[in-house]
Amino acid sequence: MTTTLKRITLVTETFAPEINGVANTLGHLVRGMLERGIQVQVIRPKQNRQDNNNQQGDLFTVTLPGLPIPGYGELKFGLPLKGRITSAIKAFNPQAIYVATEGPMGWAAVKAAQKLNVGVLSGFHTNFHQYIEHYHLGALENVAYRYLRYFHNQTHSTLVPTRAQRNELEQHGFNNVRVMSRGVDSQLFSPEKRRVALRAQWGVKDDDLVLLYVGRIAGEKNMQLALKTYQNLLAADERVRLVLVGDGPELNNIQEQFPQVICCGMQRGEELAAHYASGDVFLFPSKTDTFGNVVTEAMASALAVVSFDYAAGREHIQSGNNGMLAEFANEQFYINQAATLLDSPNLLKNLRDQARKTALTISWDSIVEEFILRLQGTEIEVNSHGNSKANAGKSSATV
């Protein structure tokens, strides 16, 4: 792929080595752009006191002060330092800007882009309005939607990972919403990474059924359903085990209430891949994710995924063929779908085989190229006064 883009600025409140879906997605996009010879400036909050501005090859990092996100102490939200953000962007002179998060730093970046006449895309990575509902602050949901709509409608277009997400935002008055899916690294996440020694470390036998959960261990991820599913399956078959990979505010409570649950903490890279591949069935009980990269990582690792019919599950799973889907929010249906796999070893094997085959078709390479095309569309909009919207639409891939 040839591209006219030489410099891109990315503004985000979370980035590697932080572990979450947004940081994971942005990491793949940045690596893909660097591999194509594009210089990338990342503007983000400091992750610690020693975290300063730096340059690594064509990656330029600008760190600014931030404050901890309530309930997410390991993450920060950036401050609306419009002057410093404007100066950093002006000095780098990007041809387009991608604002990945909608916090005060993101807002300041959008305003800076407008002042500097640089095209800006935004990403809708997190269902903050649904998190608000989960934490019983439902009265704020409409306020959150109004802010998010106003924020995103200030940008050239908003990128979302699924068609369902696009439809929902359009119904709430968001303009120019475009679907850009997610890829998966099927070389890193592979059934070949399965470790007999790791299963032995868990105290798991060859014929035990390991239910695996990977992600933040928190209430908004619907951990109670994962535990309820485990209890139901364990009552039917004593060979069922539950392994949790990750950390979060609910972990201590789970360890106290369910001492038999195997908790592995945070894992990265090859160790994370080994933990995936050493499981059998992947539980994705969340009802708040915009996508859920863990779903495709589990599929690449040849696990049978049990998910609600939404987000990554709806995009990539055909129930009974390469995974199991339950009607959204129907928790008993979810448990029943998981229980089906207890007495159906042939079905389980087929789901796992087909999940891997599906994952092999989901390439980050194609996602990066689509992302670059969309960024090029914002550059055309800025430089073609009058016919900007039409030209931008013609130059970028549409879904």
Please name which of 377, 394, 367, 370 lies closest in space to residue 119, comparing C-alpha atoms: 377
Cross-strand bridge partners of residue 66: 78
At 331, which amino acid appears? E
Higher-pLDDT residue of 90 and 206 is 90
Contact predicate 323/299, CB 8 Å: yes
Query: Which tens digits make up the pLDDT trace of 172-197?
Result: 899 999 999 999 999 999 999 999 99
> What CA–CA distance (Å, rounded) separates 223 from 283?
10
316: CB partners within 8 A, 6+ apart: 295, 296, 299, 322, 323, 358, 362
Query: Which tens digits make up the pLDDT trace of 246-274?
Result: 999 999 999 999 999 999 999 999 999 99
Q: What counts of helices (H) and strands (E) characterise the chain?
A: 16, 16
The domain ranges of the chain are 7-183+363-395, 191-359
Please name which of 358, 312, 11 lies closest in space to residue 179, comparing C-alpha atoms: 312
Predicted confidence (pLDDT) at residue 138 exceeds the cutoff of 90: no
Predicted confidence (pLDDT) at residue 54 exceeds the cutoff of 50: yes
Pairing of strands 72-78, 66-69: antiparallel
Contact predicate 182/165, CB 8 Å: no
pLDDT for the residue 396: 33
At 201, which amino acid appears? Q
Q: Which of helix, strand or coil describes residue 160?
A: strand
pLDDT for the residue 2: 59
Contact predicate 219/250, CB 8 Å: yes
What is the helix (H) or strand (E) element at residue 68, kind and residue range?
A: strand 66-69
Of 16-25, 262-271, 289-298, 389-398, the one with minimum mean pLDDT is 389-398
Query: Which tens digits make up the pLDDT trace of 59-89?
Result: 999 999 988 876 665 667 899 999 999 999 9
Predicted confidence (pLDDT) at residue 397 exceeds the cutoff of 50: no
User: What sign has the CA pseudo-torsion 256, 260, 261, 267?
Assistant: positive
Please name which of 69, 68, 143, 156 lies closest in space to residue 110, comparing C-alpha atoms: 156
Higher-pLDDT residue of 46 and 3 is 46
Question: pLDDT category, 388, cuts 50, 70, 90?
Answer: very low
User: What CATH number does the domain located at 7-183+363-395 have?
Assistant: 3.40.50.2000
pLDDT for the residue 143: 79
pLDDT for the residue 392: 36
Average pLDDT, the chain: 90
At 324, which amino acid appears? M
Cis peptide before 17 (omega within 30 of 0): yes
What fold, for 191-359? Answer: Rossmann fold (3.40.50)
Predicted confidence (pLDDT) at residue 393 exceeds the cutoff of 70: no
390: CB partners within 8 A, 6+ apart: none
7-183+363-395 and 191-359: same fold? yes
Query: Which tens digits make up the pLDDT trace of 323-362?
Result: 999 999 999 999 999 999 998 999 999 999 999 999 999 9
pLDDT for the residue 331: 98
> What CA–CA distance (Å, rounded) separates 78 from 67?
7
> What CA–CA distance (Å, rounded) separates 99 from 266?
27
Query: What's the mean pLDDT in 313-319?
Result: 97
pTM of the model: 0.88
